[in-house]
A and B are shown apart, each in its own frame.
Chain A
Amino acid sequence: MPAHAKDNGMLTKDELLEPLARARTDEVVVTCMGITRPWGRISDHDLDFASADSAMGHTADLALGIALAQPERRVICLNGDGSMLMTLGTLVTIVEADARNLVLFVLENGAYEITGNQPVPGASDVDFPGLARAAGFPRVYDLAFPRDFEAVLPNILHSEGPVFVGVQMERGSEGPISRSEREEARYLQTSLAEWSRVFRKAILSPTS
């Protein structure tokens, strides 16, 4: 457990996602790996994008591109700690690009969940909020309790960013993510190419 975290504080996926889904209006939400299915079960929105069946570790940079393309729209990225480690430099790129509409969550469960919960390197030591501060993020949140998350969620969603949110998470048990008609979440039921067009059409629509 990182030194900055509370010893007994962790959020479940429901404790993170349900308040977020209630507060969400027209923001883009980009999900990664173990959070794609849970988010897809409670949200059915053309501006949801699952970084699944895609390029491992490239969720934050993909979300950055969307944010820069749509500076007037808030973009929320629900990234995993393992994924974030794969492109740590993106923390710097986000700040350098001045993506003020980007909210980057790093969900710290300390594990590669979908491959069997193997420990992420440095899981007990890495200070992700500290890395974000060092990269220059102007707003950094370090959360471990549901009540704290709900209290700051309005600020997270409405403050000028880029915003970094580190959240201590309980480990889940999601398996490998697929894209097929068998998936429950609509945004996983089609190919990446097909959903990319659904998403792009929605984001370019004047009514979205």
Chain B
Amino acid sequence: MKRTFYLEKDKCKGCTNCMRKCPTEAIRIVNGKAVIDDDKCINCGECIRVCPYNAYTSITDKIEDLQNHKYNIAIPSTTVYGQFALGTEICKIHNALIGLGFDYVYDESWAAELVTKAIRVKVNADKNIKPKISSNCPAMVRLIKIKYPGLIENIIEVEAPMEIAARLAIDKAQSIDKNLKKEDIGVFYISPCPAKTLSVKEPIGKDKSYINKVISLKEIYGDMVRELKMHDNMCYSNPSLTGLKWSISGGQTDACDFENSIAISGLENVIDVLEELELGKLDHIDYLEILSCNGGCVGGTYNFENPFVANSNIKHILKALKEDKPKNEFTEKFEELNKDGYFDIEIYKKIEEKKPNIKEAIEKMDRIEVIYEKLPKLDCGSCGAPTCKALAEDIEEGKKTIDDCVILKLEEK
């Protein structure tokens, strides 16, 4: 897997903060520096968030990339609306992007409302596997693939709002300017997190993203604040009430409105629930919204505002919004897109599962157990592995030795 961030080794002190927080135990400290195992990394960005030395740097496209296209469209993530002072008009936020050089701004929330409809159709069409799990957070899809492969078929195979928005934005641009060719258009997503950034660079469930470039909100936030005024007289679309809810935890389940649903945000909480799901405890639930960041997408590491404040800002906008599109027209649009397969992606290809070599695997587990019994079980992390169990596994695989255990060494003296 590609990653959308990297470690600046000079800044890394080997402090173990990221290693302890990593949900898939993908990080080890080797020779005093963090090393990420790409096979285990889900690009959730927890390491970026917890690093006290800001040693992780995001790989993001730049505003200079606008020069590469004749016509540039910005699609701000719905979370962007919650990042400015309370009461900031949506129109000004859109115009700030025009001020940065974009030719058009396309709102993501209407696409989220379309996807809401698509989810309802898909969930109601298949009641055999319950609960259906939201695929909106790419980090969570990757988490399930790596840590809970038995739940892959629970993931709902529906296209992400940002991708639908991109396709509709291109159509819109071409309807405004008939001479525009597809290759003239650059579609930029203003992203709240590394996970969504990666879903453009390396899409899940399809070959290519409809988005060309992804800029982290933090990268352009300062410039947006400076440009927060009207640049052309045009007001772009107001957000959709249903779609804007997607930016906060619980909003997606609220929008989809199934009889029984659960909304979970924050990696540790999600992991708890997935563990229970594997025990067959949640078969009565229709829909599970799982989001990697606390508070939902407003908690993404590329946002500027504190997630709780952003949540309050979003709710303030929601209160003022009315359903302002004629229902029929919207339903017709949905039917048309649905028929054309806009919402279909393929997340789980049928993979032949390998037959386990039971004997070998158990012998390995026994060897790990013998090593583990010698360790102090303090999970202090000083050896550069997140837990004593992980160290035991690393020793068995020959990646570390028992001498790496600092506690045992102290006891020897």
Q: Do A and B come together as binding partners?
A: no
Which B residues fall within an 8 A CB radius of A? Answer: none
